[in-house]
Structure 1
């Protein structure tokens, strides 16, 4: 293997090589550090880095694997990149904001705690927009993060740094959070795998754990790696009373999906769709047909009311309130888009609007529920445009998608609908590339709480395609290194 091959190893294969004493965690960490130093300047996806600590932890992990009676942990020695919005004990968490440039946490969020306890080595933090409130990844504290496949374009957000780090081969596993699509948007735009579990499947820290639209989950380069992370992180946590009591253990090996019934919608009935996304989604559906699944188009009957009512939640209940609070004392430190968000939230919503997203979600499920009752899964695009420019203005009044005027923040993504329908598990997997070389993705949406069927379908799809990033020609050309 070349050094770059090592950097693109899936965690499942790296663990097997560790156990067979054919690769050391030290070798993997060193390869990732060297690659990060070489390619990160072009994409800017890393925030704080812990390279020296990671090497020391890798040496301890190596010693465990080399012991005569080796007793190792489920993720022992696997390098992990953590979104700069999730708490890590003893490390600063800036949330992409100058306001929190000196904020150091005294505990880890439950998901991070479990990954560390399983032996994962935190290599670095990944970039996020201020307060995670955008589908772009740019901030005053970290600058602009770019897409490894084409640096003129963005990686999506708000977990854009995690998606870019995986696509660039400078992390083995990564974490994200998802309130409006923040795991799945960058998964689609960067060509990686991102999972939004049902709310409560993965325990989280306050106040996000009380937000039903919020989910924390994995970003990876393979479906099996996402399942591996889920098997570590899911299950009840004594400090999160919103965490689900049942723990789901996901399989890592593909099986047959012959006879599986799959519904699909290209545009939800109202979303403008770029041609590259349409073409790649239809091609992905043909893969499922070739595997013996029964695939048919459905009409969900959703309308633009989904957008209008969904935004009430983001304006009133989550992002809007946070930006309003900080605007009073810290406006000079905030990004232009956060300031704009605060001012709109102040003017556009009242306490009476709090119920509107719940009413809308109920109306949406009146059509989705029967579709999922008659089918095992629903498939749709992840983003209706491959991405936006790296310097995209999320308040651009002239923004268009497929030649039609669209909301500059939410108008190019198809993810927040399933934050409103928060109990549906949703996995984003790659579907191809646009003419710009920027990837596209599809969402595999399951019945409420049915994580297993989503992963079974995704594993079969991945196997049929031969995986992603497995060959040099299937990786972004961001350098000419070995």
Structure 2
């Protein structure tokens, strides 16, 4: 997929407006020589230096090197600009869990303090080879094991929309940086919602591709719940970064052949989409449901047929399948990474390991696979009639920043729930059916002023459908284009 070269993109005159340019807009302006990569990087760095003490989205910053790379990128646009690569001069903040040779590699844990990666992950190398500039790494919770971002190593990362609320997790730093205008693009990873949860809490776009689309490192490349993906402020940007990251890699046996992306995402008029408001028995915050239905109405105005459907899923069923799977893989990995040093771990890490490891003993892996197959059947039936499923990303609009939620969950419609994962998150079902792509997209704002989000879930391996529907909504109802729809904490 190539960046949009529209001639109608206007160069901002205000530095903050410049920082909120999408990648697609910035690349068009670079090619038109209206602005330079140096100007854009300067605006991002200036904002980051001013805002980082409050949002704490970056675990490491490489601003001087980034400015050097921006100057080199500017040279690539000289003349006819043919030397410019797909992401030439664009700032990309990479999630800290991605190994990059010679850089810190700690998993957000004091257990691994001061350790460095000995190799560079394929997805990072692809971003670098495409001209993307890594100006920062983004914060995560310890071992990326919870849906919020705070740790003993890095402190608390809040949502820029309300600094008392969490940015979500585990890709919380990526979501917060995008919302705050301190990066243009970012990466995330998603094993239970870790791209889509912070996208929702921060009011940005997060795309979880189908399993196998983007290469990963072992053992996560073989975990069909786990996918790396792009995070951005627009669906078109998410598609742009996805196209750079995706495709078969010789080091990853699970990767799929490259998906041929169209130069522009397809028109969705005439498509049929199913709407499921509760995914079974979730109680969902009223404001989220109102904005979900408004999104459905917007799709209808664009020529999409949207019909409401039911799914027979239950939170108990989803919780059991997820925790069995995590107990065998993610919690087992966290226990190994802990190296027998529980005194250095966060309270939520200890709880996660104990809770999910215990649950794993309730099923064999064979039984878990049977449960996953049975879980997919009703969704498969829906997909025989509809190209995608529209549903909420989360059941709650916020989590309190710094709270580990041990023994209780978020407040939904005025009631305190029992557990964050079971009651607050509606992302996990689409990790259980990990071959289904899902785009988390801003849907508006709750009465509290926090952003709300919808998921657009595609049929297995139909990544373009999910992105195209998200792009259609995003173009009709964009966030961040006006100052009034940006966080106002500065």
Supply the distance in 1 between the matched residues of 2:81 and 2:30 (Cα, whole angstroms). 14
| 1:301 aligned partner | 312
| 1:420 aligned partner | 432
**After TM superposition, what 4+ stretches of structure 1 lie above 4 angstroms from structure 2?**
67-70
Is structure 2 residue 259 aligned with structure 1 residue 262?
Answer: no
Q: In the TM superposition, what is the alpha-carbon distance from 1:408 to its structure 2 partner?
A: 2.6
Aligned counterpart for 1:478 among listed residues 481, 486, 489: 489
CA contact 1:365–1:421 (8 Å) conserved in 2: yes
| 1:133 aligned partner | 145
Supply the distance in 2 between the matched residues of 1:433 and 1:239 (Cα, whole angstroms). 42
Aligned CA RMSD, in angstroms, stands at: 1.6
Q: In the TM superposition, what is the alpha-carbon distance from 1:360 to its structure 2 partner?
A: 2.3
Q: In the TM superposition, what is the alpha-carbon distance from 1:165 to its structure 2 partner?
A: 0.3
Q: In the TM superposition, what is the alpha-carbon distance from 1:6 to its structure 2 partner?
A: 0.8
Aligned counterpart for 2:162 among listed residues 139, 150, 157: 150
Is structure 2 residue 51 aligned with structure 1 residue 39?
Answer: yes
Aligned counterpart for 2:360 among listed residues 340, 349, 368: 349
Supply the distance in 1 between the matched residues of 2:322 and 2:126 (Cα, whole angstroms). 32
Aligned counterpart for 1:236 among listed residues 248, 267, 277: 248
Q: State which drifts further: 396-405 or 45-54.
A: 396-405
Is structure 2 residue 315 aligned with structure 1 residue 312?
Answer: no
Supply the distance in 2 between the matched residues of 1:300 and 1:335 (Cα, whole angstroms). 36
CA contact 1:400–1:406 (8 Å) conserved in 2: no
| 1:381 aligned partner | 392
Supply the distance in 2 between the matched residues of 1:323 and 1:337 (Cα, whole angstroms). 12
Deviations 1:12-68 (A, max 9, x none): 111111111111111111111110011121111111111111111111111221256
Is structure 2 residue 115 aligned with structure 1 residue 103?
Answer: yes
CA contact 2:139–2:149 (8 Å) conserved in 1: yes
| 1:225 aligned partner | 237
Is structure 2 residue 355 aligned with structure 1 residue 329?
Answer: no
CA contact 1:324–1:345 (8 Å) conserved in 2: no
Q: In the TM superposition, what is the alpha-carbon distance from 1:230 to its structure 2 partner?
A: 1.4
Pair 1:169–1:330, CA change in 2 (3 A): same
Deviations 1:159-188 (A, max 9, x none): 011001000000000000000000001111
Q: State which drifts further: 287-296 or 62-71.
A: 62-71
CA contact 1:274–1:401 (8 Å) conserved in 2: yes
Supply the distance in 1 between the matched residues of 2:82 and 2:272 (Cα, whole angstroms). 44
| 2:85 aligned partner | 73
Alignment of 1:67-216 (within 5 A): 67=79, 70-216=82-228
Aligned counterpart for 2:287 among listed residues 264, 268, 276: 276
Supply the distance in 2 between the matched residues of 1:199 and 1:385 (Cα, whole angstroms). 27
SS where residue 284 of structure 1 aligns? helix
CA contact 2:276–2:391 (8 Å) conserved in 1: yes
Q: In the TM superposition, what is the alpha-carbon distance from 1:390 to its structure 2 partner?
A: 0.7
SS where residue 121 of structure 1 aligns? coil
Q: In the TM superposition, what is the alpha-carbon distance from 1:351 to its structure 2 partner?
A: 8.3
Aligned counterpart for 1:49 among listed residues 57, 61, 78: 61
CA contact 2:321–2:372 (8 Å) conserved in 1: no
How many residues end up aligned between the 2 structures?
Answer: 476
Structure 1 segments unaligned to the other structure (5+ residues): none
CA contact 1:111–1:204 (8 Å) conserved in 2: yes
Q: In the TM superposition, what is the alpha-carbon distance from 1:111 to its structure 2 partner?
A: 1.0
CA contact 2:109–2:142 (8 Å) conserved in 1: yes
Is structure 2 residue 45 aligned with structure 1 residue 30?
Answer: no
Q: In the TM superposition, what is the alpha-carbon distance from 1:344 to its structure 2 partner?
A: 2.5
Q: State which drifts further: 353-362 or 177-186.
A: 353-362
Pair 1:186–1:252, CA change in 2 (3 A): farther
Deviations 1:372-423 (A, max 9, x none): 1111110000011112111222323365433263323342110011001010
Supply the distance in 2 between the matched residues of 1:163 and 1:453 (Cα, whole angstroms). 23
Pair 1:348–1:306, CA change in 2 (3 A): closer
SS where residue 236 of structure 1 aligns? coil
Deviations 1:85-139 (A, max 9, x none): 1112221122111122212112211111101100000010111000000001001
Q: Which TM-score applies when normalising by structure 1?
A: 0.95
Q: Which TM-score applies when normalising by structure 2?
A: 0.94
Supply the distance in 1 between the matched residues of 2:57 and 2:257 (Cα, whole angstroms). 35
Aligned counterpart for 1:292 among listed residues 303, 309, 326: 303
